Structure 1
Amino acid sequence: MIIGSEKFDWSKFTTTLPCVPVGRSRRENSRFRGEAEALAIRLRALRSDKGMTQEQLAGRAQVAVSTLRKIESGRVVEPGYFTILALANAMGVDPHELADPKDRPE
């Protein structure tokens, strides 16, 4: 990539520290893998109970259908906070209904 008349040096923007991971952790290594699988099951069940297709829910939540599919299949282990809020709002449920029952507030 050329900016101005100089070549852009990407090496200045990457870390060389061994303790800083680059990007997100891999799905199989994530400490949230179990929660992601539980979220996938609850999200799919709630959507089905509401009689909505993936396309309908994604449209109402203004989320890409591919993103919803990845969350429902457990391929996204750390979905974005606002994505989950949008999905819950689009289904008309409290976001805590998507949470693990043991983590729900009383």
Structure 2
Amino acid sequence: MVRLPLTLIELQRGERLGALLRSVRSERTMVDVAFEAGISPETLRKIESGRIATPAFATIAAIAGVLEISLDELWAALTADTFSPTADEYDKPARQRLAS
């Protein structure tokens, strides 16, 4: 299976997701949250740093459950775009946009 390059919107959403999870996690350790969610601390670290921009739904649902944030609240925070691309920008892979 070939994975398509991520769009700029997906990359930005991944960064927002990581920032949001870090802020909600607050003083809880990454290790505690990861183990309680049933994922590795390394996976949580990659999500929080934006290196995994499009994590699996089940992973996010598990983390959200541990952090006691609803998926609706999480999605609302992630889709509050400050970036307003043209219609073409949504479909153009990030690497292609950055190269032009």
TM-score (norm 1): 0.65
Bigger relative contact order (CA 8 A; separation at least 6): 2
Find the aligned partners of 2:70 and 2:10 in 1 and give their Cα distance. Answer: 21
Q: How many residues of Structure 1 are paired with residues of Structure 2 in the alignment?
A: 80
1:27-72: per-residue Cα shift (whole Å, max 9, x none)? 5x56400100111110110001xx3110010011011111100000
Q: Which runs of 4+ in 1 moved over 2 A?
A: 22-27, 96-104
Query: Which 5+ residue runs of structure 2 have no aligned equivalent?
Result: 81-100
Residue number in structure 1 paired with 2:24: 46
Whether contact under 8 Å (1:35, 1:100) holds in the other structure is: no
Q: Which has the higher helix share?
A: 2
Residue number in structure 1 paired with 2:3: 24
TM-score (norm 2): 0.69
Find the aligned partners of 2:39 and 2:78 in 1 and give their Cα distance. Answer: 27
Query: Which 5+ residue runs of structure 1 have no aligned equivalent?
Result: 1-21
User: 1:87 is matched with which residue: 42, 63, 69?
Assistant: 63
Whether contact under 8 Å (2:47, 2:55) holds in the other structure is: yes
Q: Secondary structure at 1:25's aligned position in 2?
A: coil
C-alpha deviation, 1:100, in angstroms: 4.1
Bigger Rg, structure 1 or 2:
1
Matches within 5 A, 1:50-89: 51-89=27-65
Whether contact under 8 Å (1:61, 1:87) holds in the other structure is: yes
